[in-house]
Amino acid sequence: GGWAMYNVTLLDDGGTESGGSNTSAAHVLNVTAVHANQAPTFLLDCSADARYPALACSPACASGPGGCDVHVSVPEGCAGCPSVALEGCPAGLGYDFQGLAHTLSPSGDGNAFEAAQSLSFTVDLVASSVVHGTHSTLFHNATGLPALSAAGGGLTLCLAAGMVGNVTYRVTLTDDGGVGALGSDTSPALNLTIAVTPVNDAPSFTLDPAHSRLFYMPSSYHVVPAFAQGVRKGPAGADGRDLEAFQSVTFNVSSPSDPGFFTYSAISLYQGAND
């Protein structure tokens, strides 16, 4: 920044003979140079946090003209991932992936005028594809949005139990330098896709307590209706539906005490009957 003063005159080519004048009266021009804020920049990748070996990520991606996409894949429930306490998040479902965003710069070129600026991330929903839910049910918090920290570059999110799907967000970095003098305070956007991939859950069922012990005459064939109940192929989603209803299941009946006790024994999946 700075300023300078100039005298501006206008000249013609008529000359100055016979007392003429070829120069106008002077006008004063004051010029002030104002610093125009430069857009901040940042990088995204997830190779920095060794605490989460289950996390998969595309190579580093710089915010710049044209942008690019970053894909983060997290297994359902993030088994083996150390959880953290997050406000409004049920215990054991909060995660903080450190170092996802890094190399943050208020100006991109290290301009000293902008070194003290404050930075913050904005995360906006672009698209989602979630099994039996929406982006807000995939991530269990008030806004349904993960958060990026400009301080440590950590991605914090609260995974909803049993939910899987893909959500794409638009990520930008903003400084507090303003947009005066044709400046820019917002970085080019990057797309961040978070995929929560399914992990198979064990099926479940109950046996009719009224038939927990059966007494029958030998050498006869018996059918017990509704012997097996509450058959589920996986956990229930937020709407109560079976999240793994697309799977096929079969009953296996065996007797560890006396394998030859029955000549034939089976449970029908469709009627829950014991034959």
**Domain chopping of the chain, boundaries:** 2-33, 41-197, 201-275
Return the pLDDT at 254: 75
Structure tokens at 87: 């406000």
The pLDDT of residue 53 is: 64
pLDDT in tens, 37-51: 989 988 887 655 666
pLDDT, one tens digit per residue, over 63-107 is 554 456 677 778 877 777 788 888 888 888 888 888 788 888 898
| The CATH number of domain 41-197 is 2.60.40.10 | yes
| Integer CA distances (angstroms), 225 to 41, 221, 258, in order | 67, 13, 24
Answer yes or no: are the C-beta atoms of 44 and 57 closer than 8 Å. Answer: no
Q: What is the pLDDT of residue 72?
A: 79
Distance in angstroms (rounded) separating the CA atoms of residues 29 and 133: 64
CA separation for the pair 158, 86 (Å, rounded)? 8
Amino acid at 163: M
Q: How many other C-beta atoms are found inside a 10 Å radius of the C-beta of residue 100?
A: 27
Higher pLDDT, 109 or 83: 83
Query: What pLDDT was estimated at residue 60?
Result: 53
> Stretch 176-198: mean pLDDT, rounded?
87
- Contacts of residue 178, defined as CB under 8 A and 6 or more positions apart, other chains included, come to 37, 185
The mean per-residue pLDDT over the stretch 187-202 comes to: 84
**What's the start-to-end Cα distance of the chain, in Å?**
90
Mean per-residue pLDDT over the chain, rounded: 78
- Give the alpha-carbon dihedral of 249, 239, 85, 154, to 10 degrees: 90
Q: Is the pLDDT of residue 108 over 80?
A: no
Residue 6: per-residue pLDDT: 93
Instruction: With 0.75 as the threshold, say if the pTM is over it.
Output: no
